Chain A
Amino acid sequence: MSNKFAILLVAGVTALCAQETPLDNSVKINLPPDSPLTLISANLGESHVTQRGSAVVLDLDVTLTLHNSSPNRVRGVTLLVAAQEVTPGGKASVSVPSLDVPPSQNFPVRINLRLLRPAQIAGGPLVQVNLDGVLFQDYSFYGPNRLDSRRTMTAWEMEAQRDRKYFKSILAARGVDGLKQAMLESLNRQAERPRLDVQVSRGRAVTSAAVAEHNARFAFLRFPDEPVEPVEGWAEIAGNEARNPRIDVRNLSSRQVRSVEIDWIVTDRQGKQYMAGSVPASGPEFNLKAGSTSRVLQDTALRFSRISNDGGAPVAIAGMTGFVGQVEFADGKVWIPNRESLANAQLLGILEPSPEEQRLTDLYRKKGPKALADELNKF
């Protein structure tokens, strides 16, 4: 009987604290009239809004079914998720790369988010979902591109082509057994890849410790075919925080470069290397003509700690390495390092796998080598 009373008490308190309300018009999905994708349905599943005093918690788990109404095969989609006035300046997006959707076919995109914000903010939908971009098989692009989705999805598609070609060559040369071996190696690399917990903030917001700060210099890895070379670079280091990376780059090609992304590796005091993130530079202020030099600069702080369930210990940064991870030319074409360069620089064990490699290894794990071989033979 005592247990029953306790349960009743808990239920009572919970009911006082939280009140669920229907979603009503909390979510709005906007596709432009001339969009190559049309919305077939939006399944809100168990999505709900909970009122907690003067705050609102939105748990959104929506699966959109989109229809490819264009004459081209869709390779990737990015949806911009805007959460009204919450977290001013904050935005979210959900991208689905590595697609192969023929014309007139439907495909799903799932968005799963949680939003906590004050309820007193003026009306309108809590969340708006807008199309930011669609990438097609021929690398043509549709969309407002507010999030630079064109470059990102083009790079993912190029990585997908690169990695599919690699695994297809193994399949052709060594058969399904060879493909199986390559998959096991990839899974092993993914499992053993050193990882850190990284917090990102603009400026100096995450700084907490009174640790001596110093300027640390980047060491650079070079690739034989890179169109842009890193010249020199620095970041401010204070304990486990790295701030304001700035890297000078020179355009070695004969074409104008619109954006550059430098991948950033940090080394701890034991000499172990971790992928820290990337330092991108793009926009009108970044103009890298043929043969010219420019600076990649970000006013950001990254804080590194060990991955742990209870809040990991800080990881002091002993060294930094950078390399050119992506270059976008003025005509929209993108350069990425080839697989051989990454292997030669021993980066495959440090970098996260490409989305396509992640998808293929997942397919292998769930459905086996035969299903993977069938998938690779599709295109």
Chain B
Amino acid sequence: MTHPNQSTLALYAGQDLGWFARRRTERHLARCGECRGEVRAFASARDNLVALNELPAISWNRLAAEMKANIRLGLAAGECVRGERTVEYFSPFGLLSSARTLTACASVMALVAAGLLLQRSTPPLQTASAGEGAVLRTTPNGIELNQGGQTLSLLHARSGDVTYSAGAQGSMRAGYVDSDTGNITINNLYVQ
């Protein structure tokens, strides 16, 4: 089975793929658990990026400008390398037939998409009062407490069977056998 590349999966997770590519990727994801996992990871990373937006210490405009400059630099460098090749590279069909060029274009598109994603207007991190708006939930790697964009997660990486249970007093529990220690370990998160 041929898997979509990372850029395609990242763009899919961000809902930034075109219609045709999206349909093709959806068809693949329907039968490939590994790629579904990749998409989940990208979506999770994207959530984190969304939560990090609007932070005062980073100038996103400057970052975007630097990214654009770097992209131009990369394209210019590519042109330098291609300078002594035959004229067929200047033909649109010849350009598209080069696997390297296609890969480079996909990478640049992924970068541009990432830049756009970083520039999206999202709510800043908030300071919430105790318990206000706090949500406990399970994630593929553990249990998570999310409040105003701040998160605390207890993870159970590298462990197979995990049992979850919720407490109506505002708690979430994950129990698993730790693959390193061999001990049953029970992670708990609480909202008060």
Contacts and interface: CB of A to CB of B under 8 A. Distances in A.
Interface of A: 1-3, 5-10, 12-13, 16-17, 52-55, 57, 61, 63, 81, 83, 86-99, 107-119, 147, 156, 190, 195, 197-203, 205-206, 245, 264, 275-280, 298, 300, 302, 309-310, 352-353, 355-356, 358-359, 362
Given A97-B184, A198-B138, A90 B189 contact: yes
A353 B103 CA distance: 49
B129 to A, nearest CB: 6
Contacts of A356: 184
B145 interface: yes
B150 A117 contact: yes
Nearest to B156: A112
B135 A201 contact: yes
A92 B172 CA distance: 10
Contact of B151 (A95, A114, A190): A114
B74 interface: yes
A96 B185 contact: yes
Given A277-B166, A358-B175, A63 B180 contact: yes
B77 interface: yes
B17 interface: no
Nearest to B129: A88
Contact of B171 (A13, A200, A276): A200
Contacts of A88: 127-131, 147
B103 A3 contact: yes
Contacts of B57: 53-54, 119
Interface of B: 33, 36-37, 40, 48, 51-52, 55-58, 63, 66-67, 70-71, 74, 77-78, 81, 100-101, 103-104, 107-108, 111, 114, 118, 125, 127-138, 140, 142, 145-147, 149-157, 161, 163-172, 175-178, 180-181, 183-192
A200 B136 contact: yes
Given A52-B52, A277-B165, A352-B165, 15 more contacts: A1-B78, A7-B107, A53-B52, A88-B130, A90-B189, A94-B186, A98-B183, A116-B151, A118-B127, A198-B172, A202-B131, A300-B170, A309-B36, A355-B186, A358-B161
Q: Which 5 A-B pairs have the closest CB atoms?
A: A2-B104, A6-B107, A89-B130, A277-B166, A53-B55
Nearest to A16: B63
Given A92-B145, A109-B181, A110-B178, A200 B107 contact: no
A202 B107 CA distance: 43
A377 to B, nearest CB: 18
12 contacts: A3-B103, A52-B55, A55-B55, A86-B152, A90-B189, A91-B192, A118-B127, A197-B138, A202-B132, A277-B166, A355-B175, A358-B163
Contacts of A98: 183-184
B135 A90 contact: no
A235 to B, nearest CB: 9
A340 to B, nearest CB: 22
A323 to B, nearest CB: 14
A3 B131 contact: no
B188 A112 contact: no
Nearest to B141: A114
Given A6-B103, A91-B189, A277-B167, A96 B78 contact: no
A55 B151 CA distance: 11
A8 B183 CA distance: 43
A114 B140 CA distance: 14
A9 B134 contact: no
Nearest to A160: B184
Contacts of B58: 17, 53-54
Nearest to B108: A6
Contacts of A55: 51-52, 55, 125
A198 B166 CA distance: 7
Contacts of B134: 87, 89-90, 201-202, 205
A197 B135 CA distance: 13
A184 to B, nearest CB: 15
Could you say which of B36, B127, B190 has the most chain A C-beta atoms within 10 Å of its C-beta? B190
A89 B41 CA distance: 28
Contacts of B140: 309
A310 B25 CA distance: 14
A200 B186 contact: no
Contact of A116 (B136, B150, B163): B150
A352 B163 contact: yes
Could you say which of B71, B152, B168 has the most chain A C-beta atoms within 10 Å of its C-beta? B168
Contacts of A198: 137-138, 164, 166, 172
A287 B176 CA distance: 34
B151 A245 contact: no
A112 B135 contact: no
Contact of B172 (A87, A94, A200, A275): A200
Nearest to B145: A90
Contacts of B191: 89-90, 200-202
A53 B172 CA distance: 30
